[in-house]
Structure 1
């Protein structure tokens, strides 16, 4: 994915590459029954793995705090095991996944005319400053509206 974005940037510039990166949602099914939980979507068979179940819970309500201990309890596994599942399935921690998922709703709220503070609260950020840091880390720019 990074290579594809680098090629887009080389051909069309950083602004277009940034726009493409913002709009991407990546679905990935690994070999066997392992589910990758990226971009807010999961694929699974009849018996949903704990990691995918927790990912669906996070995606259903980004405004909820989603602490690792609470998510693990919901999945009836230990916080350590949940973290291991996320690392194996999505190469991120549960907290990193929550941060990744919150970004989309925050961006959508800004595009819909919400203020930065309103968008931050609706997406589950603790403050507009937390959302600002997330935008800078991901896009290199602060949110505005």
Structure 2
């Protein structure tokens, strides 16, 4: 039995508890109760989330043990200092656990406890710079879904905790079980830790369904040249009207936005597959690998080969 202890702070983010479903369904998929999950807090008893919903918890003490400890975050870690008792427990529990993890801004607890010193870590993108400023000895990577550095696991904000939990299931029970859990939870894509926290479609944030439909069409047909005329036709607008509305709603020209979608898709393929760069370029709509390299250098400052090399070198 693998024991997982969630450490809850008053005002914890309720979404962190959603990750417990990953371990619940891992037990179902494995056909036996591999994981045992329990909530803990400093004083024990009922503890309230940021939404006001209270859950029961066991009190943390020197006898509290778990194979995996998961520290949950709060909405604003800068406004809510971590209780000293929680920091002391993190330091004490870390050497005895198989791994220690933090979801979202729970990474601040590990950083303040000194567990991230000299390690690579991530957190919610909105607080990554502040974490780096407050803890210069931590190598904060603000554009990662989750990070694994030895026994220390950290995740980006909110739903990234689900990806972190799935990665734990894959580590413990194998890729087949993790895929089955993701399918059961209707997670259309199990994101790799190196994947960017940012989504090109979310950044564009079109205001109308019509422009959103054009972007969805583009994402599904990235292998094609995707002219303004084709995109306009897909949503029944004239090319001139489409370009005007698209730029007004997204702040970018159609050509610039499509290149962003191509780059996002190419980066994912490079990180999550072993396809040659020629194939990656062809599948994501670049003329050839040279065109792909030029776009990567222009947008990311590094060539695609460096991205693949970085993925291979990650722990």
Task: Give the TM-score of the pair, scaled to structure 1.
Answer: 0.71
Question: Using the alignment, how far apart are the partners of 2:141 and 2:269 within structure 1?
Answer: 21
1:71-82 equivalence runs, <5 A:
71-82=231-242
Question: Using the alignment, how far apart are the partners of 1:82 and 1:4 within structure 2?
Answer: 33
Question: Using the alignment, how far apart are the partners of 2:281 and 2:264 within structure 1?
Answer: 11
Unpaired stretches in structure 2, ≥5 consecutive residues: 1-124, 146-194, 309-315
1:65 to 225, 228, 233: 225
Q: Match of 1:129?
A: 290
Is 1:114 matched up with 2:275?
A: yes
Q: Match of 2:264?
A: 104
Deviation at 1:16, TM superposition (A): 2.2
Question: Using the alignment, how far apart are the partners of 2:257 and 2:241 within structure 1?
Answer: 15
Q: Match of 1:84?
A: 244
Contact 2:225–2:285 under 8 Å retained in 1: yes
- Structure 1 residues 79 and 19: alpha-carbon distance in aligned structure 2, compared to 1, 3 A threshold: same
Question: Using the alignment, how far apart are the partners of 1:5 and 1:129 within structure 2?
Answer: 36
Structure 1's consecutive aligned runs of 4 or more residues displaced over 6 angstroms after TM superposition are 12-15
Question: Using the alignment, how far apart are the partners of 1:139 and 1:6 within structure 2?
Answer: 19
Deviation at 1:7, TM superposition (A): 2.8
Would you say how many aligned residue pairs link Structure 1 and Structure 2? Answer: 128
2:205 to 18, 24, 36: 36
Q: Match of 1:142?
A: 303
- Give the CA RMSD over aligned residues: 3.1
Deviation at 1:83, TM superposition (A): 1.1
Between Structure 1 and Structure 2, whose CA radius of gyration is higher? 2
Question: Using the alignment, how far apart are the partners of 1:6 and 1:137 within structure 2?
Answer: 24
Deviation at 1:102, TM superposition (A): 0.8
Contact 1:8–1:17 under 8 Å retained in 2: no
Q: Match of 1:7?
A: 129
Name which structure has the greater RCO, CA cutoff 8 Å, separation 6+.
Answer: 1
- Structure 1 residues 104 and 85: alpha-carbon distance in aligned structure 2, compared to 1, 3 A threshold: same
Task: Give the TM-score of the pair, scaled to structure 2.
Answer: 0.35
- Structure showing the higher strand proportion among its residues: 2
- Structure showing the higher helix proportion among its residues: 1
Deviation at 1:76, TM superposition (A): 2.1
Contact 1:9–1:17 under 8 Å retained in 2: no
Question: Using the alignment, how far apart are the partners of 2:140 and 2:279 within structure 1?
Answer: 26
Contact 1:8–1:16 under 8 Å retained in 2: no
